[in-house]
Every structure is written in structure tokens, then in C-alpha cells.
């Protein structure tokens, strides 16, 4: 099934003031991973075939060929087939917190995004406590999505509960408002970054923007809520939990198709290339 949106790559480049997009050739081998209520699922990029693999279906991140899943107070590291490589126990401070987002920071460790206390906990590669920062002045009772990407030495977080993208400097840990999108008529969700362009999701919409530009809608999926996003070449892959599907949008044409169906409430979406 295919759906068409009128915005293509030409319009993106026009709004961004000159094309900064480097779409490149998408990989043909590798897997998309998502946590579902049935377990940890991977989908073959080549065949669009889904399978449940071993491993804990938690909050996911991926880095350097390793899949990470936060389940309870342990970050599990898996290979591409879901075989356990190691366990990274969390330090005392973030334990028991409502961690809804996990960002792999390579040799620097991990960032854990706390929805209840509006904080980010930084832990080292072995789970040692490094730092905690608050993304709002006073924690509140508002719940929000919390996704994070690394861009130019900063952790960019979607969102703070008030439709603002927040920035944490990864050297100084200074927190600032990255972009105030309070005028958008919906919450902010999944976030991706590639080649100077951010891709931000709402319930059913995908926006693109450079740091100094306003978001432009580039895709609309038929059913939400979008819970994850992965950029590969000319394609945007988005998971939708209520639809139980992964959609694939072709950036250059704006066409969206239902790529995989039959998933039981898929959450974050991450990619590992074949290796």
C-alpha cells in the first residue's frame, strides 16, 4: 500500500536555503530493530522480513555494530542476532527511575533520559555514574517523549514537555533550549540527525530542518503514533505503535509505503548494518 505526500527533496532544499542533503545510496544489507510486546524484533533490510530474536525488548540504542537494550536497571549488549555480549548494570542513582530514552555515546558511555524527573543521567561504558543534569528548572508532572541524538558535540533531546528541543553540551554539560516549537499543534517525538539536517516526528508527521531554520513537513504517515525513526539513503523508516507497522518514505518523491505490518506495538527503531 502506498501513500503520497507532496513534499519532495527539491522542496526541502528550497526551504533549507540550498541543498545540504546528502542522501547517498542506502545500504542493502542489515537490520532494523524494534522492541514490541511480543519481544525483540529485527527486520531484514533486504527482504523486509521480521523475526523475533533472543534478547530483552527494552529501550533501544545502537552503536558500532552493537545493539543495546535497557531493561530494568541493566543495559544489555547484543550482537546482530540477539546473542548477549555483556551486561552493564546501572549505578545507584538512576536505578528505579522512569528511563524512557537511551543514547549510546560510544566510548563516552550512555545518556539515560528520565521522564519523571526531567533529567539526563550520564554513565560510563561500564555503567559508572558520571553526571546528571536537569532539562527544566523545576521538575513537573507533565510526561513527554524523550528521544536523543548527538549533533556537533551536543545531545539534542526531544522534548521537555513544552514542545522544546533541549541541548546538553557534552563537554560542559550546559543545558539550553535548542529550538522552541511551541507553535506546532502536537507533541514532539522521535528524532534523527544526518548531514546537518534534523528529522523530527510528531504523531503522524515527519519534519526536516537545519539548525538555523524552521521545520518543514516532508512526510505524513497514514496512522500513528510514530515511535521511532531511522534515516538510510533516500529512505525514512518510521515505526508506528498503534498501526503496528514500519513505514518507508522516499525523500526524493515524498511517497510513503507500508513496509512491514503485523508488529505488536513497536517502539524505538534502530539500525545495524551487516558485518
Residue spans of the domains in the chain: they are: 2-273
* pLDDT at residue 28, as a whole number: 74
* pLDDT at residue 6, as a whole number: 36
* pLDDT at residue 131, as a whole number: 97
Contacts of 114 (CB under 8 A, 6+ apart): 94, 97, 98, 99, 100, 120, 121, 146
Q: Which fold has domain 2-273?
A: Neuraminidase (2.120.10)
- Average pLDDT per consecutive 10 residues, the chain (275 residues; last block may be shorter): 40 48 72 98 96 98 98 97 98 93 97 95 97 89 90 97 97 98 97 97 97 96 97 96 98 94 98 94
* pLDDT at residue 138, as a whole number: 81
State the cell numbers at 131: 553526571
**pTM, entire model:** 0.92
Give SS3 for 167: strand
* pLDDT at residue 24, as a whole number: 67
* pLDDT at residue 27, as a whole number: 78
* pLDDT at residue 44, as a whole number: 97
Interatomic CA distance for residues 156 and 179, integer angstroms: 10
* pLDDT at residue 13, as a whole number: 54
Interatomic CA distance for residues 173 and 88, integer angstroms: 23
- SS3 string, 37-67, reads CCEEEEEECCCCCEEEECCCCCEEEEECCEE
Q: Which residue has the cell 522544546?
A: 164
Cis omega (within 30 of 0) for bond into 225: yes
**Residue 151 backbone dihedrals phi, psi, to 5 degrees:** -145, 120
* pLDDT at residue 105, as a whole number: 98
Of the candidates 40, 118, 108, the one whose C-alpha atom is nearest the C-alpha of residue 76 is 40
* pLDDT at residue 1, as a whole number: 38
Decide: 231 and 32 in contact? Cβ < 8 Å.
no
Amino acid at each position: 500500500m502506498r501513500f503520497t505526500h507532496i513534499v519532495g527533496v527539491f522542496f526541502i532544499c528550497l526551504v533549507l536555503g540550498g541543498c545540504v542533503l546528502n542522501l547517498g545510496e542506502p545500504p542493502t544489507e542489515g537490520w532494523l530493530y524494534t522492541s514490541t510486546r511480543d519481544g525483540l524484533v529485527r527486520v531484514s533490510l533486504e527482504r523486509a522480513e521480521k523475526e523475533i530474536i533472543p534478547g530483552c525488548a527494552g529501550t533501544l540504542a545502537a552503536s558500532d555494530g552493537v545493539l543495546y537494550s535497557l531493561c530494568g536497571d541493566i543495559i544489555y549488549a547484543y550482537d546482530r542476532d540477539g546473542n548477549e555480549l555483556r551486561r552493564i548494570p546501572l549505578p545507584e542513582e538512576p536505578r528505579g527511575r522512569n528511563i524512557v530514552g537511551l543514547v549510546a555515546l560510544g566510548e563516552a558511555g550512555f545518556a539515560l533520559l528520565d521522564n519523571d524527573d526531567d533529567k539526563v543521567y550520564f554513565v560510563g561504558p561500564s555503567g559508572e555514574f558520571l553526571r546528571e543534569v536537569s532539562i527544566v528548572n523545576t521538575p513537573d508532572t507533565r510526561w513527554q517523549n524523550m528521544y536523543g541524538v548527538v549533533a556537533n558535540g551536543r545531545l539534542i533531546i526531544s522534548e521537555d514537555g513544552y514542545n522544546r528541543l533541549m541541548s546538553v553540551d557534552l563537554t560542559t554539560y550546559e543545558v539550553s533550549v535548542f529550538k522552541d516549537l511551541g507553535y506546532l499543534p502536537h507533541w514532539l517525538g522521535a528524532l534523527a540527525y544526518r548531514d546537518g539536517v534534523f528529522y523530527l516526528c510528531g504523531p503522524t508527521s515527519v519534519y526536516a530542518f537545519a539548525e538555523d531554520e524552521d521545520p518543514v513537513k516532508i512526510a505524513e504517515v497514514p496512522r500513528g503514533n510514530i515511535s521511532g525513526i531511522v534515516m538510510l539513503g533516500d529512505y525514512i523508516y518510521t515505526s508506528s505503535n498503534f498501526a503496528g507497522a514500519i513505514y518507508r518514505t522516499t525523500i526524493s518523491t515524498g511517497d510513503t509505503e507500508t513496509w512491514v505490518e503485523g508488529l505488536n506495538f513497536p517502539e524505538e527503531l534502530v539500525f545495524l548494518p551487516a558485518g
